[in-house]
Every structure is written in C-alpha cells, then in structure tokens.
Structure 1
Amino acid sequence: MGDRCSWCGEDPLYVAYHDTEWGVPEYDGRALWEKLILDGFQAGLSWITILRKRDNFRTAFAGFRPEVIADWGEDEVAWLLADEGIIRHRGKIEATIGNARAYLDMGGAAAFSERMWSYVDGAPLVNRFASQAEIPASTPLSTQLSKDLKAAGFKFCGPTIVYAWMQACGLVNDHVLGCPARRV
C-alpha cells in the first residue's frame, strides 16, 4: 500500500470521505446533481467546510430533491439566507433553484446520469498521476461539460468546479498512484 492522496490531510471526516466516497463511481442522477450543487457551494471555500455542513445542506435543501426545490421562490431564498448551518450566499442559493429546474428540464435522474456519464463513455477515466502536484484544476473535457451545463441553464459550474465534481463522482479517477483508495 502506498500513501493516501495528500489533499485530505489527517482530519478523520476528510479521510473517511476520501477513503469511501471520493472517486467512487456514482451513477444515481439525483446524487450526481446533489454533488454538483455542493461543489458549486464550495467555490471560494475548502471542501472540508462543505463536508462539515453537508447534513445541514441536505436538511435545508429538502434532501436535494430537485422536484421540490424547482418550485422555490423568494420566500425560500430568504429562509435559506437566514440558515446558519449552510453557506448563505444568495447567488449560490438562487443557482441551486435554477439548477433544479435545469435538471428537471433535462429529464430528471436517469437522463442526467446518462448524459453526464456519456462524456466519459460510461466508465471512469483513469489517470496515472504520481503526485497531487500533477493533477490539473480543469481539463478540456471539464471545460466542455461546463459549457454544456451552462447552455442547459446551470450556474456555478465552471470548468474547475466541474472537474472537482468529476473527480468526486468517479467520472475521473485521480487517486494518485499507490493510494490505497485507488481501486485500479
């Protein structure tokens, strides 16, 4: 066994996330959408901040059920802006509501999953990076996927956010060589 990816440090919550969740292929469309929303909330922050608040986000955003969130308006935005358990950023909250609508316009869970996985032909892209320093912040593929999501009405889904999401959801395997969580 080699060394774990360095980005998770020693925090037990972060290590558990790295070891059991990050990079594991996620095919459930609703779960993919939730992770994309959370990666959007991460913009400008560290992932551990979002991870520590993830349960609060799930409560505040009705279990990340797009069919519920899509009907929200200013009353819900105001309520969420007052919720100290989440990141209170109007633009990100409003984007989540709009992203729920865009997700539903795409056809929901199965269609979203199929469309996202089509970018990698249905199987994770496996990279062979020896160190964290080699891993890019974005790629031409994440740039294209970002453009396509934006064209479909999504917000807070730039190329860097999309690449982080692709890594988290296992569309891309960027566990460094030797990492015990690499699995390939």
Structure 2
Amino acid sequence: MDKALTKLGSSWISTKAKTEISHITDDLSSLSNTVEEKAKLFINKLKGKSQKGLPDLLREYNLPPGLFPRNITCYEFDASKGKLIVYLSSPCEVCFKDSSIVRYANRVKGTLSKGKLTVVDGMKSKVLVWVKVTTVAVESYKSDKVWFTTTAGVKKSRPKDAYLMPREAVKVEEF
C-alpha cells in the first residue's frame, strides 16, 4: 500500500512540475518576443523609420481603428505581403460598445488588405461559445457593418461604430 501511495504521489508531483515548467516556458517566450519587438521598434526609431499607430494603419485599410485593444505591445506589418502581426502582453478580451466580446491571444496574425483581415490566427469571438475568427471584413468604405467570419462558418455582422475607438482589454488566463 505504501509503495502504491508513493508511486501515486510521485506521479502527481511529476505532473504538477511539468505543468509549472510549461507555464514558465510560455512566460519566458512571451517576454522574449516582447523584448525583441520593442528592440525592433527602438532601432527603427533610431534609423528614422517611425511606425504609424495600429489604429491609423487599420483606418488606412478601411477597417475600424478599434478592432484591437488599446494596450497592444507592438505590431509588425509587411506591406509587400500584407502580413500583420499584433503582439499583446497576455491573452485578453475586450467587451465592445455593442456588448460583443472578442478574445485575443498573445499574438494575432492575419493578412491585411483593403477592407479585410483574413487568415486570422489568435482571435476568438463569443457566439454562444467561443469560436475562432478567420476573417474580419467591411464591405465598402461607407458600410456601417463589420463582418466576423468564424471557423464554424458563422458570419456575424456587428455595428462598425462599436469598433471606432480602441478599448482597454482585460487579461484572461488562457486564449
């Protein structure tokens, strides 16, 4: 009986240790990415290449400027490929003016083109349950709707004016 309890206890401790080490590794990776991105921004500023704010970039591509939270760490945009990567310090969520909720991972990636953010990775929306967002689109410059398409094939329209101002995000435990 003692051997069984000892084996069970050591298995439990081993599992807990692996979980904690995994969390520490994730935290270090997030910190490393944040430091790397801040260094890139600093070097670009030293070179005289200042990057416009993310809300300005989104506005330029006819997407609502408040699509991402106010407290992003930084972002990268490769205009030649349309690749956008937005970095956040931790997974978080935002409740927008229309009561819709969007959750963001530490890093959100997608392809930015006029009126669309496609091939999105790292964004979820609550539609009864949390579902991954694959596309965010505005049909035309004068449109008053933002369309969210999810992996479940659900296409949901929301009022564009709910996403006009970047909002403060609330940290969540996991994406």
TM-score (norm 2): 0.28
Structure number with larger C-alpha Rg: 2
1 or 2, which has the higher strand percentage?
2
**Larger relative contact order, structure 1 or 2 (CA cutoff 8 Å, min sep 6):** 1
1 or 2, which has the higher helix percentage?
1
TM-score (norm 1): 0.27
